[in-house]
Structure 1
Amino acid sequence: MPIRREHRFFYPIDWPQLSAVIRFGRAKGRCEACQRPHGRTVFCLGDGRWWDDEAASWRDGTGGLVCIEVDAADVLGEIRTTRVVLATGHRNHDTADNSAANLAAWCQRCHMLHDRPEHMRRRWWTLFRRKALGDLFRGPYGL
């Protein structure tokens, strides 16, 4: 995922090289959460299942093999494709902690799932600040 301009100074100057070591050295070009391969277009379902060409089987959101019954559901109507791009993320959301144990190679889906609570916290804080500034400069909100 691209780093916002205002957050660039939080990352070390060698971040691209460090990220490449994690994504392609340690993770071998696969998401560490669901095993999706970097740079490939995969077939996926809305619940996180995706088709692994190498294993010739469906995998779930955690990378485990899944068997789908033939008459269970019309999965062909739900299939979409996505191009997998690996990104290096911080497990504890602290950009100053760049230890190998804190960094993980995730695809877009897994990265967003991991960051969801942090994004919700930041969204709440932004809305809280806007409301506080409105109260401060425009008076309290009407009932």
Structure 2
Amino acid sequence: MPIRPENKARYPKNWKREIRPAILDRAGHCCEGSPAYPDCRARNGEPHPVTGSRVVLTVAHLDHQPENCDPDNLRAWCQRCHLVYDAEHHVETRRRTGEKRNAQMALFDGAES
């Protein structure tokens, strides 16, 4: 998953240069398998054996905290594994974003009165 601009400062300076490559090397540039798909071993850059889409390995934070770069908290996952693992987290993030947007709109609407 791409790093959102508002979260970029939460990642260590050596994320791209050292941490991410070390996790991908540990995994042999294959998906390490997620709780939903423990046997997934989709290989980076090749067609996914189930979906057929080109695999782009991502590095997932199991606790969703970019600051926690302990190797035990990080997994090399294909898009399928990462998206399924993060599904609930994405729903919660969308809900909070919607609430903020609605609050801002309410302030804006009130300013016109």
Q: When the two structures are superposed, what TM-score results if normalisation uses the length of structure 2?
A: 0.81
Amino acid at match of 1:115: D
Identify if the C-alpha distance between structure 1 residues 5 and 136 changes in structure 2 by more than 3 Å, giving closer, same or farther: closer
* Structure 2 counterpart of 1:75: none
* Structure 2 counterpart of 1:38: 44
* Structure 2 counterpart of 1:20: 21
* Structure 1 counterpart of 2:62: 91
Structure 2 gap segments, 5+ residues each: 34-39
Task: Select the structure that is richer in strand.
Answer: 1
State the identity %: 38
Which of 79, 100, 103 is the matching residue for 2:71? Answer: 100
**Paired residues of 2:42 and 2:49 also in contact (CA < 8 A):** no
Compute the displacement of 1:7 (Å): 1.8
Amino acid at match of 1:8: K
Identify if the C-alpha distance between structure 1 residues 6 and 134 changes in structure 2 by more than 3 Å, giving closer, same or farther: closer
**Paired residues of 2:57 and 2:77 also in contact (CA < 8 A):** yes
Q: When the two structures are superposed, what TM-score results if normalisation uses the length of structure 1?
A: 0.65
Structure 1 gap segments, 5+ residues each: 46-80
C-alpha RMSD of the superposition:
1.6
Compute the displacement of 1:43 (Å): 4.5
* Structure 1 counterpart of 2:10: 10
In the TM superposition, 1:35-74 aligns within 5 A as: 35-45=41-51
Task: Select the structure that is richer in helix.
Answer: 2
Deviation beyond 4 Å, 4+ runs, structure 1? none
Query: Hey, what's the Cα distance between the residues in 2 that align with 1:106 and 1:128?
Result: 30
Matched, 1:124 2:95: yes
